[in-house]
Structure 1
Amino acid sequence: MAEPQEGPLLRTPSEQGSVGQPRGGSNKQALKVAGLTVLAAVLIAGQAFTAYMMYSQKDRLNSLESHSARLEELGRRATVVRSPMKMALPMNSLPLFLDESTTGDKKASTPAPKKELSRCLQEAAGLVEIQLPDFRPRCDENGDYAAQQCWDLAKKCWCVDKSGAILQDTMVDGPAQCG
């Protein structure tokens, strides 16, 4: 009798070679197939995630599109020529901008010589920079500094001389008593 064989009856083509050949080719091919499969799975998963995010953010995307269209429409409207806007002027600088010929006095047809503005009037009109923000000095009818000056932002008042120099120890909260 013949002795029983202890191996598979059929062998794969890679196993059918001679007995001394190494069988490493199938492992390399299996690794390549596995790598390509994983890569394809990652690409498909990425596309699926992108589609899901686009679908879940559809409302926000629509909102952004409508805002963008609105901004474009406003941009087109802005190029249309509009009438100039009136600018607000501080009331204490109003006499500086009034035309003297419209006050009702029609004395002479020759223009009055322009006099130079005093330092107080220049500061009140904003023509000269002042160290206190939002402060405009009050001037009397001669263009000198009024005796009492107040900074409304800090609710402080003080006394000054005609040249605007602060009198010592006169700064108080509220109105100052200037003699």
Structure 2
Amino acid sequence: MAESETQTLIGASNQQTAVDVGAPAERPRSSRAYKVAGVTLLACVLIVGQAATAYFLLSQKGDIKSLEEQNNKMKTELTRGRSGGRISLPSQMHIPMKILPEAFDDTAEEEASTGTAATLTLCQMEMAGLKPVQVPGFQPACDKQGLYNPQQCYMGHCWCVNPENGQQIPGSMSKGSVICVKPAGMFALTDVED
């Protein structure tokens, strides 16, 4: 039976013979080929990265030049300010102009002529920003003598204070205005509706 199949196979295939060589023999994998492929891939990635960096630098060239010009301009202005140019930094803190009429009374001219200097009260120093207050951004209101106004307000809330030291009267905090009256050494509170 095997001979007839072989003959049929030979006869059917026009004199071609089929040879069974078996499974291919396993060769050891070439690690050198993998190394070369990895190095080649790495080199390609690095070249593409360099090309992308060059492209982005060239596309941002105008912006970089503009920033360099601004930097040079600021450097020249700063050096000119130090060398006696028109730009100079203040050497001391100044009192804001809006509080000057309230901070100094009419006796300042008389004291200046006699040689005594005018001193600011605690309220005036807090109002001028020369002394820190407990609530950031709050500036107390002072009267002409430099004492605290009996009513102080900040961000829609008002309260009564002791005019001499600015301490809040307990229980006087109210949303909106309050009237602080001082009959015979005592404070009386009256709510005022807005």
- Contact 2:123–2:141 (Cα < 8 Å) also in 1: yes
Q: Say if 1:111 and 1:38 are closer, same or farther in 2 by CA, change over 3 A.
A: same
Counterpart of 1:83 in structure 2 is 87
- Distance in 2 separating the partners of 1:42 and 1:156: 68
Unaligned 5+ segments in structure 2 are 1-27, 182-194
Alpha-carbon distance in structure 1 between the residues aligned to 2:74 and 2:99: 37
Conservation of the 8 A alpha-carbon contact between 2:153 and 2:159: yes
Report the Cα offset of residue 178 of structure 1: 1.8
TM-score by length of 2: 0.55
> 1:97 Cα shift?
6.9
Distance change (3 Å), C-alpha of 1:76 and 1:119: closer
What does 1:69-80 correspond to in 2, within 5 Å? 69-80=69-80
Aligned pairs for 1:109-124 within 5 A: 110-114=113-117, 116-124=119-127
> Is structure 2 residue 145 aligned with structure 1 residue 142?
yes
The equivalent of 1:46 in structure 2 is 46
Contact 2:123 2:147 in 1 (8 A): yes
The 4+ residue runs of structure 1 with deviation greater than 6 A are 85-88
CA distance in 1, matches of 2:95, 2:55: 51
2 CA distance for matches of 1:130 and 1:114?
25
CA distance change for structure 1 residues 52 and 165 in 2, over 3 Å: closer, same or farther? closer
Count of paired positions: 145
- CA-to-aligned-CA distance 1:142-176 (integer Å, 9 cap, x gap): 2222121112xx22111123222322332222221
Tell me the amino acid that sits aligned with residue 87 of structure 2.
S
Which 5+ residue runs of structure 1 have no aligned equivalent? 1-26, 102-106
* Map 1:97-136 → 2, pairs under 5 A: 100-101=108-109, 110-114=113-117, 116-136=119-139
User: Shift of residue 89 of structure 1?
Assistant: 0.9
User: Percent identity over the alignment?
Assistant: 22
Q: Distance in 2 between matches of 1:113 and 1:139?
A: 23
CA RMSD of aligned residues (A): 3.8
